[in-house]
């Protein structure tokens, strides 16, 4: 691991747009990047590190980012692409949120016949056109990726399917499937029984909590229907 005794930030340069901070050599033929490869640590410890623009590591991908003390603030808007895992301790939670928003996937069609929802598009799926038939429900991660491949044993995912109902109501009339399969699924409905009808002129919300219980894969699924 390369150890830098101190962080030296050179003046911001103007040959790229937008402007970036620069540390050491250029990256990929461009100046103006905070550049780190393969690994960088700072000694002594940096208590405050302010960065703007692009941070590039391992040709554009962070394999890991370890912070040993709490990040007390993030200014402006901060985004994490791909995925990140925040581990708590035996005495603290991994993440504390004062407030947060969640993106809903608004789908301008009816929830009809053989319906598949994709968790990668959001935990709330809203079908805005009134259903015209009963349907079966399948849950997967994305058109290219199974839920089994992204959900580890002991992990759980919840998705809500908002179904618009017209004057004639319809409902989910067959067993739930995961990645197109009903094998090794143990499911329960809130109240003990699956729905036998929909609710006219409103929105029915089906909520599915999927807990992966073994690598077979096997799932425990808790289902509910709420009328609005």
Where do we find the tokens 């030296």? 8
Where do we find the tokens 């849950």? 139
Strands (E), 142-216: 156-165, 177-178, 185-189, 202-214
| Burial of residue 222 (number of CB atoms within 10 Å: 0-12, 13-18, 19+) | middle
Name the average pLDDT for the chain.
79
Quick: pLDDT tens for 76-124.
555 555 666 777 888 888 888 888 899 999 999 999 899 999 999 999 9
- Residue 226 vs residues 23, 27, 67, 112, 116: alpha-carbon distances, Å: 55, 54, 42, 18, 20
Query: Taking 90 as the threshold, does the pLDDT of residue 50 lie above it?
Result: no
Most confident of 21-35, 69-83, 210-224: 210-224
- Residue 64 vs residues 48, 119, 130, 198: alpha-carbon distances, Å: 19, 25, 46, 47
CA-nearest of 208, 97, 222 to 163 is 208
Percent of the chain exceeding pLDDT 70 equals: 63
Query: Taking 70 as the threshold, does the pLDDT of residue 42 lie above it?
Result: no
User: In the chain, what are the domain boundaries?
Assistant: 1-89, 104-227
Strand partners, 219: 185, 212
* pLDDT band of 68, cuts 50, 70, 90: low
Quick: pLDDT tens for 159-186.
999 999 999 999 999 999 999 999 999 9
More confident residue, 122 or 60: 122
Q: How far apart are CA 99 and CA 125, in angstroms?
A: 21
CA-nearest of 190, 188, 207, 226 to 139 is 207
- Give the DSSP per-residue string, 17-35: SS---BBSS-BTTBSS-EE
**pTM of the prediction?**
0.70
CA-nearest of 28, 29, 45, 35 to 10 is 35
């Amino acid at each position: 691991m390369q150890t830098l005794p101190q962080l030296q930030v050179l003046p911001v340069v103007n040959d790229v747009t937008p402007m970036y901070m620069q540390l050491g050599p250029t990256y990929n033929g461009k100046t103006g990047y905070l550049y780190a490869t393969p690994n960088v640590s700072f000694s002594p410890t940096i208590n405050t590190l302010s960065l703007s623009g692009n941070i590039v590591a391992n040709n554009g991908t962070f394999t890991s980012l370890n912070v040993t003390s709490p990040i007390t603030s993030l200014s402006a808007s901060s985004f994490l692409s791909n995925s990140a895992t925040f581990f708590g301790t035996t005495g603290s939670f991994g993440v504390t949120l004062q407030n947060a928003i969640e993106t809903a996937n608004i789908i301008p069609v009816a929830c009809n016949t053989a319906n598949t929802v994709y968790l990668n598009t959001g935990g709330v799926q809203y079908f805005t056109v009134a259903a015209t038939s009963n349907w079966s429900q399948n849950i997967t991660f994305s058109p290219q990726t199974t839920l089994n491949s992204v959900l580890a044993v002991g992990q759980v995912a919840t998705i809500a399917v908002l179904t618009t109902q017209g004057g004639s109501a319809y409902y989910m009339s067959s067993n739930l499937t995961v990645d197109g399969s009903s094998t090794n699924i143990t499911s329960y409905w809130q109240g003990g029984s699956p729905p036998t009808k929909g609710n006219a002129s409103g929105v029915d919300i089906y909520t599915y909590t999927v807990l992966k219980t073994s690598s077979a894969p096997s799932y425990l699924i808790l289902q509910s229907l709420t009328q609005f």
